[in-house]
Amino acid sequence: MPPKRKNNISINIEDVGMDVDASDSGSEVEARRRAKNRRAKPQRKAKRVSDNDDEDEEEEDEDESPRKRGRKKKAKPRDSEDDEEEDNRNVKRKSSKASRKKAKDESDEESEDEGEKKKKGASKKEKEENKEKGKGKGKGKQGKDAGAEKDKKKKNRKLSSSIEEEEEEKSEGESLSEGEMAALKEEVEEKKKLIATLRNKPWRMKRRLTLLKEAQDFVEKFEGALGKGKGRKLFAFKVMMAKKLIKLKRDFENFKTACIPWEGKIKDVESHFGSSVASYFIFLRWMYGLNMVLLGLMFGLVVVPEVLMGLPYGSIPRKTVPREEQATAMDYSTLTDFEGYFKYSILFYGYYNNERQIGLLKFRLPLSYLLVGVGIFGYSLMVVIRTMARNANEGGDGGDEGDFTFSWKMFTSWDYLIGNPETADNKYASITTSFKESIVDEQMNQKDENIHLRRFLRVLANVLILCSLGGSGYLIYYVVKRSQVFANMNKDDLTWMEKNEVEFVMSLLGLVCPPLFEAIAELEDYHPRIALKWQLGRIFALFLGNLYTFLFALFDEVNAKLESEKDIKNATILALNEYAANYSSYYNTTNVPPQNVHPADVIRGPCWETAVGKEFVKLTVSDIQVTYLTILVGDFLRAVIVRFLNYCWCWDLEAGFPSYGEFDISGNVLGLIFNQGMIWMGAFYAPGLVGLNILRLLSSMYYQTWAVMCTNVPHERVFKASGSNNFYMGLLLLVLFLSLLPVVYTIMTLSPSFDCGPFSGQEKMYDVVMETIDQDLPAFIGNIFVYATNPGLIMPAVLLMVLALYYLNAVSKGYQQANIDLKKKMQMAREEEKNRRNNKDSTNQVMKDLEDLLPNKSLIPPPAEEEPPPPDVVVDKGSRSPKVKPGAAGKGVHLQRDVSLAAPNPRDPVTRDPGPRRGPPENARGPQPGPGRGRGGGRGGGRGRGGPPRQYEY
Amino acid sequence: MGNKQTIFTDEQLDAYQDCTFFTRKEILRLHGRYHELAPHLVPMDYTNEPDCKVPLALIVNMPELKENPFRNRIVESFSEDGMGNLSFNEFVDMFSVLSEMAPRELKAIYAFKIYDFNVDNYLCKEDLEKTLNRLTKEELTPEEVQLVCEKAIEEADLDGDSKLSFADFENMITRAPDFLR
């Protein structure tokens, strides 16, 4: 054989990929096939099929031959197998061309060869086939007599005839028929698919590269040939464009990954602290992206147009600091309170003018302001929900917990991202603990009395936490009430403490409560991942309570402001009338010129919108301060002290009491979420807040990654973050909804201030939309709008939506049910399978009972010998497995090799009869194989083996 | 980016991008890392596909793998000679499979290879014991190890041959919520 192989080396190399996707000789064989097809069209299909069959057969051969050859060449790699096969074929091809006689010789040699191989279990059929092969080659030239001959013969004929036609093809040129085109196209498509999915194939890189090259060459070569006549050029152009597009896409992908910021930083953190801490930073980055879009909307459509095209500072009252404030307007303390110049700047609602169209572009600022304010919510809602949906899809089927506790622990508990020795040590420890826990669980099987204690502790913990939640809620309520009292008093009499009591108490609660909750949660003893969720939920409740208490206080204030605004408005109108009356009586004219007052001196209302915006900005700023200070003091200072005082201290500071801080995931995530809620609520009244928030996120990205890397230690029980952070997203969605409520409420019900903001002069803020529809759009759109807002139409629409919701809900429930059923079925099948293999049919109790009722049962000696079954079962398993595996593993070659390697295994069940040797135990279990056989009858011979022993007994 | 032409040709980079989950930049960075491992062995110029391999001991000391209990196995299962010597192709291959983008199915195949210590295409009890001891730094008592291994096999073994074939493994692992990376 070796010499032959030499001849055909080039083809052999190509042939490596043959079995995978029929690529290889692709170009060559395919070309021949095409050529031949032209002549023998009617037969084409049949041959195609036969070709496939052929290949199947080859594969079968492959599976079989090593088994038979087993002793000779045990570890013969698959590729060489292919080579050989191809050798034969090539030989045939050549021989047919050269001389008939030689072919015969060759085939004889071959058949001899194969005959040798199969000496032991040889079948005559095989030999016949070989002979036929030879014949086939001989007849090859006639080529056209079809019939009931063997597949291989056909193929040989085809091959030989194809070679003749190769020359013809050259002369005829490249005109292809439709069918061939389709076939070629298919092939090209296949290649393309291969190229696209190559990276998912578990092959060695070298092989992948060669395959890729081949596939690309093939596509290159034949893609151009697909078009014909006039269409060819167009087709070539199309192909070229497609290529360019792919290139462009790839470049874009490269660009996109290059644009993801902080990837390196996050990976760094990830390798030190595991994926749970990293998940916070990924969340932070996501938030940053979201806020960048919000910033773009807000600044691009509201702030920048106002700055560029609106009236400048100092031109009208709302854009000017009032006279009495001017003295202190630039003081530091004023500015930190966002009074003075800040209050009358583009940061806040009040600065914007209510002119309908501004600048050269006739930009409708008030309309844009309202739409952006609402659009921010719309966009955020869409993004959050989309992310959630995507995460949910990625999550996969959660799987049936408890089925694979140990296997999962064993194979998936290591976090492959850990690259830090300390973290790794912690991980080792936590894995060991978790294994021990599971072992204990397994041994105890949950029958310990501790369960009561644990339950009690969990209830106790929840009670304690509810108490502290209630306490904090009451505290805030109390403080807010007090602050309302203070607000009515003179500002100069109040101390700093009294002025800032609300913010102070809220920050303090936010600082004290989470650690308190964590301490209480120790009682519960949950898995850290579950504990984290509980902790998140609790802190969430706390923050939410605080926020809403704050909001209610704010509403009180707004209502008070609205009252006072009415008075001021009336006073202004009164003053104006008075001025007009005086003027007309003095100059005796009805043509009153407008009052000439400096904008700083005009009487103005309290402008509640700006006040609300100011509150939110102040709250955000104080939140930033508190967070950063906590990190600086709580983490950095602590780390410094622990690190350097450790040299001169009486106990080990690093291992003992203060030690280094851990990164507080739950607190940080919630801080981020609530901060975002504040931004959403405040953005409408203080457009500058979005910019402020971007600064905060940006700085906190750098600051916190620094802090975590240099001051924190990894968690004691390092755990993986759950795959999708949908929990965070869910919280975010809730906060988004909760912050949507007050804003929409104010927009829809409260009337805007009369002398500040883009909506001044309107009865309601949304009137600006109505106005635009009435004045600027064609009448029919206004009509449509009127119809659309008609309750008669809205009601049915709502009804329809409810119905759709109901329907979709029902459908999803149905799917869920189907899912559960399928799962159950799978579980059942698995159990069944397992039990059948272990030969203890505990599931099929009914069958067992039936067996017991058989009349023969009484004749069999009572089952006194029940003890032996364990060994019986084991041996049974062992002897049974070989029958089972070919089906299950599907890899005959490996299996066979395995068999020969695994010496001690009782692998020759055919020669041995397990039943009689064991005697009595088998006797006792006699009736059992019955159902086994009955059930598994269709599964092939393996099951039938239960039979003989019984017959033997009876 | 002037040096990228000198390390790889554009076709090579494209080919690598087609075969892996990496972008061009990442492949170049990988080459940088690979070069760093053994500067005297690995040439900077890869345009003519030089044949060189970096031994196991060097690769295992990369910070990415250093703390991994299965580092030797990972490297070995990706090397063509089974001894842990990696050519650049295999090196890229390894990180491609380990990257986040690789699909579960692919990861499962290689995970199976990694856990298969004695390379017989089955996870037998021996393999599991080794796995477990590496995971826990041999903190568990032999009895506990026995128990856990038996349990694991009992859970995942479908065909009752008291060792796990790839089908068993895949069935088990693809349902695991934690099997992501």
Please tell me which residue, B96 or A17, carries the higher pLDDT value.
B96
Does B133 touch chain A if contact means CB atoms closer than 8 Å? no
Q: Is-contact A319 A602, C-beta < 8 A? A: no
Q: What is the mean pLDDT of residues A191-208?
A: 74
Q: Is-contact A169 A36, C-beta < 8 A? A: no
The CA distance from A249 to A241, in Å, is: 12
C-alpha distances in Å from residue A894, one per residue of A202, A779, A883: 17, 79, 14
Q: Is-contact A841 A847, C-beta < 8 A? A: yes
The CA distance from A58 to A79, in Å, is: 13
User: In this complex, do B135 and A414 lie within 8 Å of one another by their Cβ atoms?
Assistant: yes
Residue B112 corresponds to which tokens in the numbers above?
């199976």
Minimal CA separation from B24 to chain A, in Å:
7
Tell me the per-residue pLDDT of A251-273, one tens digit each, with 9 for 90 and over: 888 788 777 888 878 877 877 77
Q: Which residues pair with A358 in a beta bridge?
A: A363
Q: What is the mean pLDDT of residues A831-848?
A: 60
Q: Is the pLDDT of residue B165 over 70?
A: yes
Picking from A205-214, A338-347, A503-512, A523-532, which range would have the lowest pLDDT averaged per residue? A523-532
Q: Could you give phi then psi for residue A404, rounded to 5 degrees? A: -125, 35
Q: Label the pairing between strands B53-54 and B86-87.
A: antiparallel
The CA distance from A342 to A348, in Å, is: 8
Helix, coil or strand: residue A757: coil
C-alpha distances in Å from residue A263, one per residue of A266, A576, B32: 5, 62, 18
Minimal CA separation from A524 to chain B, in Å:
24
Residue A209 corresponds to which tokens in the numbers above?
């590269």
Q: Return the residue of B nearest to A884 by Cα.
A: B159
C-alpha distances in Å from residue A783, one per residue of A506, A777, A797, A902: 50, 10, 18, 86
> DSSP readout, B107-127?
HHHHHHHHH-TT-SSSB-HHH
Please tell me which residue, A741 or A593, carries the higher pLDDT value.
A741
Q: Is-contact A937 A860, C-beta < 8 A? A: no
Residue A856 is predicted with a pLDDT of 59
Give the Cβ contact number of residue A272 at 10 Å.
Answer: 21
Residue A865 is predicted with a pLDDT of 42
Q: What is the mean pLDDT of residues A934-954?
A: 36
Q: Return the residue of B nearest to A433 by Cα.
A: B136
Q: Is-contact A915 A949, C-beta < 8 A? A: yes
Q: Is the pLDDT of residue A378 over 90?
A: yes
The pTM of the whole model exceeds 0.90: no
The CA distance from A145 to A133, in Å, is: 15
Q: Is-contact A275 A365, C-beta < 8 A? A: no
Find chain A residues with C-beta within 8 A of B106's C-beta.
200-202
Q: What is the mean pLDDT of residues A325-343?
A: 82
Does B36 touch chain A if contact means CB atoms closer than 8 Å? no
User: In this complex, do B177 and A722 lie within 8 Å of one another by their Cβ atoms?
Assistant: yes
Q: Is the pLDDT of residue B16 over 50?
A: yes
Residue A458 is predicted with a pLDDT of 83
Does A420 touch chain B if contact means CB atoms closer than 8 Å? yes
Tell me the per-residue pLDDT of A116-150, one tens digit each, with 9 for 90 and over: 444 444 444 444 444 444 444 444 434 344 343 44
C-alpha distances in Å from residue A409, one per residue of A8, A279, A384: 52, 22, 32
Residue A889 is predicted with a pLDDT of 38
User: In this complex, do B68 and A414 lie within 8 Å of one another by their Cβ atoms?
Assistant: yes
Residue A853 is predicted with a pLDDT of 63
Q: Is-contact B52 B41, C-beta < 8 A? A: yes
Residue A870 is predicted with a pLDDT of 42
Nearest by CB: B181 against A257, A417, A435: A417
List all residues of chain A from 223 to 252 with a beta carbon under 8 Å from chain B. 250
Show the DSSP H helices in A522-637 as ranges: 528-587, 608-630
Please count the residue pairs, one from chain A and one from chain B, whose beta carbons lie less than 8 angstroms apart: 191
Residue A849 is predicted with a pLDDT of 62
Q: What is the mean pLDDT of residues A469-492?
A: 78
Rg (CA), chain A: 41
List all residues of chain A from 872 to 891 with a beta carbon under 8 Å from chain B. 877-878, 880-881, 884-885, 888-891
Tell me the per-residue pLDDT of A410-451, one tens digit each, with 9 for 90 and over: 777 776 767 677 777 777 777 776 777 677 666 665 455 567
Does B96 touch chain A if contact means CB atoms closer than 8 Å? yes
User: In this complex, do A404 and B156 lie within 8 Å of one another by their Cβ atoms?
Assistant: yes
Residue A549 corresponds to which tokens in the numbers above?
């208490």
Does A466 touch chain B if contact means CB atoms closer than 8 Å? no
Nearest by CB: A830 against B135, B158, B177: B158
DSSP-derived letter for residue A361 is: T
Place of tokens 């001389």: A99
Q: Is-contact A721 A276, C-beta < 8 A? A: yes
Q: Name the average pLDDT for chain B.
A: 77
Please tell me which residue, B160 or A673, carries the higher pLDDT value.
A673
Q: Name the average pLDDT for chain A.
A: 69
In chain A, what percentage of residues exceed pLDDT 70? Answer: 62
Q: Is the pLDDT of residue A888 over 60?
A: no
Half-sphere exposure of residue A823: CA atoms within 13 angstroms, side-chain side: 13
Nearest by CB: B67 against A410, A419, A894: A419
Please tell me which residue, A694 or A99, carries the higher pLDDT value.
A694
Does A870 touch chain B if contact means CB atoms closer than 8 Å? no
Helix, coil or strand: residue A496: helix
Find chain B residues with C-beta within 8 A of A424's C-beta.
67
Task: Return the top range by mean pLDDT from A264-268, A590-594, A892-896.
Answer: A264-268
Residue A198 is predicted with a pLDDT of 73
C-alpha distances in Å from residue B171, one per residue of A78, A270, A836, A916: 26, 29, 19, 37
Q: Is the pLDDT of residue B63 over 80?
A: no
Q: Is-contact A691 A622, C-beta < 8 A? A: no
Q: Label the pairing between strands B53-54 and A712-713.
A: unpaired
User: In this complex, do B21 and A199 lie within 8 Å of one another by their Cβ atoms?
Assistant: yes
User: In this complex, do B161 and A889 lie within 8 Å of one another by their Cβ atoms?
Assistant: no
Nearest partner of B163 among A413, A63, A885, judged by Cα = A885
Minimal CA separation from A399 to chain B, in Å:
5
Q: Is the pLDDT of residue A56 over 70?
A: no
Find chain A residues with C-beta within 8 A of B17's C-beta.
250
Residue A809 is predicted with a pLDDT of 95
Give me the torsion for CA of B153, B154, B160, B165, rounded to 10°: -30
Residue A88 is predicted with a pLDDT of 47
Find chain A residues with C-beta within 8 A of B80's C-beta.
204, 206
Minimal CA separation from A197 to chain B, in Å:
8
Q: Is-contact A4 A91, C-beta < 8 A? A: yes
Q: Strand (E) positions, A737-788? A: none
Nearest by CB: A877 against B23, B158, B162: B162
Residue type (1 letter), A553: A
Picking from A109-113, A373-377, A688-692, A779-783, which range would have the lowest pLDDT averaged per residue? A109-113
Nearest by CB: A253 against B14, B23, B70: B23
How confident is residue A854, by pLDDT bands cut at 50, 70 and 90? low
Picking from A322-331, A483-492, B86-95, B143-152, which range would have the lowest pLDDT averaged per residue? A483-492
Does B25 touch chain A if contact means CB atoms closer than 8 Å? yes
Nearest partner of A735 among A478, A535, A480, A551, judged by Cα = A551
User: In this complex, do B175 and A894 lie within 8 Å of one another by their Cβ atoms?
Assistant: no
Please tell me which residue, A578 or A833, carries the higher pLDDT value.
A578
Nearest partner of A281 among A721, A592, A916, judged by Cα = A721
Q: Return the residue of B nearest to A435 by Cα.
A: B148
How confident is residue A227, by pLDDT bands cut at 50, 70 and 90? low
Q: Which residues pair with B54 in a beta bridge?
A: B86
Among B70, B87, B135, which would you mutate to test the A interface (most chain A Cβ atoms within 10 Å of its Cβ)? B135
The CA distance from A515 to A153, in Å, is: 82
Q: Which residues pair with B123 in a beta bridge?
A: B164
Tell me the per-residue pLDDT of A741-759, one tens digit each, with 9 for 90 and over: 888 888 888 888 888 888 8
Which uninterrupted H or E stretch holds A772?
helix A767-776
Q: Is the pLDDT of residue A87 over 50?
A: no
